[in-house]
Structure 1
């Protein structure tokens, strides 16, 4: 039997909640560091190719794919940076419990746009070296690869897991 008072238990539970939120925020930031780097490199590459002579002479299909890919890349970058801005605005307002789920959704949406941007980048690059039909087939294969490994497999594992998470903590980002 514990000698802990209700007030002591409340303080311990609050500290545990604070520690859990800190851990989730740190995990989310680490994920964002990885996603931001790749997205920024892709975005810089896409910005640079628009000014090449070969791209200027490209057909409508290439320009359309490029525009969609560039916008998807910009949206992904914006969504991956949004939690930083969000944190700056609500910093020291004791809103981490509200901020983390929103930042997590921003990150998930950023991954969707990164999937589209990467697929579009592959389509643009492969269209230069292969027949367009093969470029489309290859880009579709890459898209399906992303959908399987980034969405379908984790969703399946989560649904078939006995407790819904790998450590029993279902309140993650």
Structure 2
């Protein structure tokens, strides 16, 4: 068993080439997750804040019953997304110092993914709410469908493809090649 800087080879957590213990890996992953959450939290909070102001607009009283239901669903989805994307903060606050960071990273990552799915749903229903005012309902539904496909492609399909390519050797592991 070779030793590197006070660590045993058995302390390495994966074959990524990083010389880190499980705790060091958890610290790194937690820092990366926080950076991702900063982007997502800001966007979802701005969207949710906007949604909350809609009811105070003069035109809100003219919405039909179905538009009010769509608005209610949109606000509830937005609130759920905010809750899920802020949830990792609570994990950190309640679990800090209890030597549970690896588990905390796993649960916070799952909660973040749920938050992103809820954000996708919030974006779709928000777009539908707005576009139904601007264009015909059928056109609005098609436009929202196209945007949902775009979000799914950008947020989920591309990362899954990249992960698959890396596993099968289709991607370079020594760093990105920027055109």
Alpha-carbon distance change, 153 to 117 in structure 1, aligned in 2, over 3 angstroms: same
**Which residue of 103, 112, 135 corresponds with 1:107?**
112
* CA contact 2:74–2:126 (8 Å) conserved in 1: yes
- Of stretches 47-56 and 107-116 in structure 1, the one that deviates more from structure 2 is 47-56
TM-score normalised by structure 1 residue count: 0.85
Per the alignment, residue 147 of structure 1 pairs with 152
Distance across 2 between alignment mates of 1:31 and 1:23: 13
Per the alignment, residue 134 of structure 1 pairs with 139
* Alignment gaps of 5+ in structure 2: 13-19, 175-179
Aligned length: 165
**Which residue of 30, 35, 42 corresponds with 2:40?**
35
Distance across 1 between alignment mates of 2:119 and 2:7: 44
**Which residue of 2, 6, 17 corresponds with 2:22?**
17
* CA contact 2:166–2:173 (8 Å) conserved in 1: no
Question: Within 5 A, what are the aligned runs for 1:1-173?
Answer: 4=3, 8-10=6-8, 13=11, 16-162=21-167
Distance across 2 between alignment mates of 1:167 and 1:133: 45
After TM superposition, give the deviation of residue 65 of structure 1 in Å.
1.4
**1:130-151: CA deviations, max 9, x gaps?**
1122111111111111112111
Alpha-carbon distance change, 66 to 167 in structure 1, aligned in 2, over 3 angstroms: farther
Distance across 2 between alignment mates of 1:75 and 1:95: 25
Distance across 2 between alignment mates of 1:55 and 1:123: 15
Distance across 2 between alignment mates of 1:144 and 1:84: 30
After TM superposition, give the deviation of residue 13 of structure 1 in Å.
2.9
Any idea what SS the aligned residue of 1:161 has? helix
Higher relative contact order (CA 8 A, sep 6+): 1
Whose helix fraction is larger, Structure 1's or Structure 2's? 1
CA RMSD of aligned residues (A): 2.5
